[in-house]
């Protein structure tokens, strides 16, 4: 079974700073997908970024980028020039490639951006 671990329950930074959220996972699969989802106070789950394990290049979406270390089974999210609207719970998630079905989520990191 796959497991996803987010070791930082809470983080807090000042607006415009850069912040990195950590995620590690455990799997015996070679091909899989990794995701970061954002859940603001509205409770809506919003896809932030996606990474395919077979791609060596780290995914980037505007101010959001990942550091994917396959051998270390690590998948961190970097948010640059943080904004007040980035305040949310962030969930790291894993999905198998073969017979991909469910997302396996970590416990989440509560990120607060302070003005």
Partner 1 sequence: DSGVTQTPKHLITATGQRVTLRCSPRSGDLSVYWYQQSLDQGLQFLIQYYNGEERAKGNILERFSAQQFPDLHSELNLSSLELGDSALYFCASSRSTGDEQFFGPGTRLTVL
Name the site residues for partner 1 (rule: CB under 8 A). Answer: 33, 35, 37, 42-47, 50, 91, 95, 97, 99-108
Question: Shortest approach of partner 1 to residue 104 CB, angstroms?
Answer: 7
**Which CB atom, from 86 or from 108, has the smaller least distance to partner 1?**
108
Residue of 84, 70, 78 lying closest to 18 (CA atoms): 78
Question: Shortest approach of partner 1 to residue 17 CB, angstroms?
Answer: 27
Rounded-to-integer distance, Cα 67 and Cα 69, Å? 6
Do residues 44 and 102 make contact, with C-beta atoms less than 8 angstroms apart? no
Question: Shortest approach of partner 1 to residue 9 CB, angstroms?
Answer: 12
**Which CB atom, from 83 or from 107, has the smaller least distance to partner 1?**
107
Query: Can you name the residues that pair with 109 across neighbouring β-strands?
Result: 90
Cα 9–Cα 10–Cα 12 angle in degrees, nearest 5: 160
Residue of 73, 83, 63, 81 lying closest to 106 (CA atoms): 73
Count the residues in the chain. Answer: 115
**Which CB atom, from 5 or from 114, has the smaller least distance to partner 1?**
5
**Which CB atom, from 37 or from 68, has the smaller least distance to partner 1?**
37
Question: Shortest approach of partner 1 to residue 31 CB, angstroms?
Answer: 10
């Amino acid at each position: 079974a796959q497991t996803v671990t987010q070791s930082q329950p809470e983080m807090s930074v000042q607006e415009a700073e850069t912040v990195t959220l950590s995620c590690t996972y455990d799997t015996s699969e070679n091909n899989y997908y990794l995701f970061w989802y954002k859940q603001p106070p509205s409770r809506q789950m919003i896809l932030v970024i996606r990474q395919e394990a077979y791609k060596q290049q780290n995914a980037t979406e505007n101010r959001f980028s990942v550091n994917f270390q396959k051998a270390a089974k690590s998948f961190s999210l970097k948010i640059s020039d943080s904004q007040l609207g980035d305040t949310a719970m962030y969930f790291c998630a894993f999905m198998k490639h073969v017979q991909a079905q469910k997302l396996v989520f970590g416990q989440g990191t509560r990120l607060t951006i302070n003005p």
